[in-house]
Amino acid sequence: MLKLWNWLMRWWSPAAATVTLGNRGETLAAQFLERRGFTILERQLRGPYGELDLVALDTDTVVFIEVKTRATNVAGDPTEAVTRSKQKKITQSALVYLKRRGWLQRRCRFDVVSILWQGSDGPELHHYPAAFDATGFGQMYS
């Protein structure tokens, strides 16, 4: 019985709820972008500098999309969590991705999708194309 209780506590813990909410947000963002003509190449791609939430093609542009999902705006707008430090990690991860694919010559950009999932009205989604430029020492080509 104790094993079952421990398993349930891990499953229903606040951390598990955050992961579940984040996954729901990424799925919603991917569907939203696909309806607008994007081709999703990768989801939750882990690398040495962190995770790329979504990697997509918008025509011939490689787009790295950071998805921020929140249940409330008590801690601020979800986009406020895309700090300069987070932008640097995304930039580093994007560079690794482009190098591995042999796509350094391709055009790319960094988008943010903000999802506020509060109340019974359903989620409020905002897409910010070109939300930030490559960030860090030497930007994309250091």
* CATH number of the structural domain spanning residue 80: 3.40.1350.10
- Does 4 reside within a domain? no
Predicted pLDDT at 48: 87
Q: Taking Cα atoms as reference points, which of 10, 2, 20, 36 lies closest to residue 113?
A: 36
Q: Are the C-beta atoms of residues 127 and 32 closer than 8 Å to each other?
A: yes
Predicted pLDDT at 8: 46
Q: What is the count of structural domains for the chain?
A: 1
Between CA 97 and CA 52 the distance in angstroms is 9
Looking at the DSSP assignment, which residues form a beta bridge with residue 70? 116
Residue span of the structural domain in which 105 resides: 24-141
CA angle 136, 87, 66 (to 5 degrees): 150
Between CA 77 and CA 4 the distance in angstroms is 37
Between CA 14 and CA 91 the distance in angstroms is 29
Residue labelled with tokens 């042999």: 102
Between CA 118 and CA 13 the distance in angstroms is 19
pLDDT in tens, the chain (142 residues): 555 545 445 545 444 455 588 899 999 999 999 999 999 999 999 988 999 999 999 999 999 999 999 988 888 889 999 999 999 999 999 999 999 999 999 999 999 999 998 777 789 999 999 999 998 765 555 4
- Does 11 reside within a domain? no
- Tokens encoding 98: 């482009």
- Does 33 reside within a domain? yes
